[in-house]
């Protein structure tokens, strides 16, 4: 089955700096990669996703890049704000599959 690894497990940045979270996956058939943000005691919320037919996708301060050859994808948050503080999870899935494989999460703290 698929194995998704996520790094780092914790990340602290100063407000206004950028944050980068990286994930690797093992199943070359995976072709859909969402990112979720989970605040304490809340549900995971989809913040951005990318499919394997594109290499990069941006949405305001958030961007995701995908390298299918190397089997890794990354989340980039620019101009971080205190409200970006949360746990972020990457995930991988096949388009024809029914199961998402999640990373172990990155706890991001943005220091004002």
Dist CA 57 CA 9 (whole Å) = 23
Q: Establish if 72 lies at the interface with another protein (CB under 8 A).
A: no
Q: Where are the beta strands (DSSP E) in the chain?
A: 5-7, 10-14, 19-24, 32-38, 45-51, 56-59, 62-67, 72-77, 86-92, 101-102, 106-111
Q: Establish if 46 lies at the interface with another protein (CB under 8 A).
A: yes
Instruction: With contacts defined by CB under 8 A, name the span among 10-18, 29-37, 53-61, 70-78 that binds another protein.
Output: 29-37
Any idea which residue has 């996708």 for tokens?
57
Dist CA 104 CA 90 (whole Å) = 8
Q: Establish if 50 lies at the interface with another protein (CB under 8 A).
A: no
Instruction: With contacts defined by CB under 8 A, name the span among 14-22, 30-38, 59-67, 70-78 that binds another protein.
Output: 30-38
Q: Establish if 27 lies at the interface with another protein (CB under 8 A).
A: no
Any idea which residue has 């998402």 for tokens?
100
Give the binding-site size for another protein (rule: CB under 8 A). Answer: 23
Q: Establish if 28 lies at the interface with another protein (CB under 8 A).
A: no
Q: Find the binder of another protein among 44, 63, 64, 110 (CB under 8 A).
A: 44
Q: How many CA atoms lie within 13 A of 81 on its CB side?
A: 3
Query: Which residues in this chain contact another protein in the complex, by CB under 8 A?
Result: 6, 32, 34, 36, 42-46, 49, 89, 91, 93, 95, 97-105
């Amino acid at each position: 089955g698929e194995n998704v690894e996520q790094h780092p497990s914790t990340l602290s940045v100063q407000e206004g700096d950028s944050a980068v979270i990286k994930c690797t996956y093992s199943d070359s058939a995976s072709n859909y990669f969402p990112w979720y943000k989970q605040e304490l005691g809340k549900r995971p919320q989809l913040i951005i996703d990318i499919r394997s037919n594109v290499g990069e996708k941006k949405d305001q301060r958030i961007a995701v890049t995908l390298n299918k050859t190397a089997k890794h994808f990354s989340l980039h948050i620019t101009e971080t704000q205190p409200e970006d503080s949360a746990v972020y999870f990457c995930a991988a899935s096949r388009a024809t599959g029914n199961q998402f494989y999640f990373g172990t999460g990155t706890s991001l703290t943005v220091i004002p």
